[in-house]
Amino acid sequence: MVDREDIQKAVEELDIARTNLVGLYLTIIGKNYEDLDISQKNSVLNGLENIVRSMGNEDFTEKLMDTPETRSRRLNLAFNRKIAVRAREIKGLTRKGLADELGFDRAGYIRLSKYETGEARPSNPPRGEVAKIYIHWLKEHGYDPYKL
């Protein structure tokens, strides 16, 4: 027989799963947002704004929008891979050439590649050596995504 505790536990687990699903949706939106045209960007923003407004539950909205993970994700959205690639190209460098100039080994080159293809974003503030060096290089060359 199922008791109240089992039901309550299942409800709590379902709430956690739903919250994780929302986080996943936001991650997907964040990764693809910069590739959208202006009309699509406006649609995404308007849709998200309408969803947040319709929730009416300030506790949930605040919990969702103000966790260390979502704060970090929102801050990282400032990094635009297309601008970063353009900064490198303006200097006449290939991705490999930039990696060499910055003294990156193969792992550093792979990380740089992930930043430029959108598979990853440098943390904000940059934490790893590759991210720190790369963001510093971008800043020196006219692109400061995190206003450091």
The reported pTM is 0.52
Where is pLDDT greater, at 118 or 132?
A: 132
Q: Give the residue with greater pLDDT, 16 vs 93.
A: 93
If pLDDT is split at 50, 70 and 90, which confidence band does 111 have?
very high
The burial class, CB within 10 Å (0-12 / 13-18 / 19+), for 133 is middle
How high is the mean pLDDT of the chain? 81
Q: What percent of the chain has pLDDT over 90?
A: 33
The four Cα atoms 113, 114, 117, 123 give a dihedral, to 10 degrees, of -120
pLDDT value of position 56: 63
| Confidence check: pLDDT of 59 > 60 | no
Per domain, the residue ranges of the chain are: 4-76, 81-140
- State the virtual CA torsion across 125, 131, 135, 137 in degrees, nearest 10: 150
Band of residue 118 on the pLDDT scale cut at 50, 70, 90? confident
Q: How far is CA 117 from the centre of its chain?
A: 13
pLDDT at 53: 67
- Residue with the bigger pLDDT between 73 and 26: it is 26
